[in-house]
Amino acid sequence: MKNTRFTSILNSCLVACALTIGSLALTPFSSAQAPMAEVNIPFAFQTGTTRTLPAGIYLIHRQSEHVIRLEGLGFARGFVMTHEIVQSHASNQGVIIFDRYGDKYFLRQIWTAGDNVGLECPKGRAESLEAKNKQPPSSTLLAFNSPLKH
């Protein structure tokens, strides 16, 4: 009788430990999946090595410390390598910044409201070619509300 009770208690403890470890292991993954923001981009654009993405509404997900995922309607998706940048003051509103060369737009930076640390995208080959052949880029800023609350 004592062995059966002890085994039952031990099994319950093992199950509880396994569930706790499993939930802790999934925590970073689930927080990385929550969108940072939603933004309506009214023009086609490029991101580093990603093909041109169409105009539309995009959810911005932070996949990891240096990778974001843009998710638009249908098949409009792209992954972007980033690095952190710092400014002296935090913005009151989230902003996504594009470099524009003529009629071509390239994702440059993402800043969330209340944070002085933003994300910057390195220049890809297509943008480097545009920069060589044309005048310096102009910047286009689009505001968004961040972070999204679910």
pLDDT at 2: 54
* DSSP annotation of 82: -
List the Cα angle 27/39/33 in 5-degree steps: 15
What is the rounded CA–CA span in Å between residue 37 and residue 25? 24
Is residue 38 pLDDT above 50, yes or no?
A: yes
pLDDT at 8: 58
pTM of the model as a whole: 0.71
Per-residue pLDDT of 88-131, as tens digits, reads 988 888 999 999 998 999 999 999 888 999 999 998 888 888 88
Per-residue pLDDT of 63-88, as tens digits, reads 998 999 999 987 788 889 999 999 99
Q: Is cis: bond before 147, omega within 30 of 0?
A: yes
Our measurement of the distance from residue 147's CA atom to the centroid of its chain's CA atoms, rounded to an integer in Å, reads 11
What is the rounded CA–CA span in Å between residue 89 and residue 73? 33
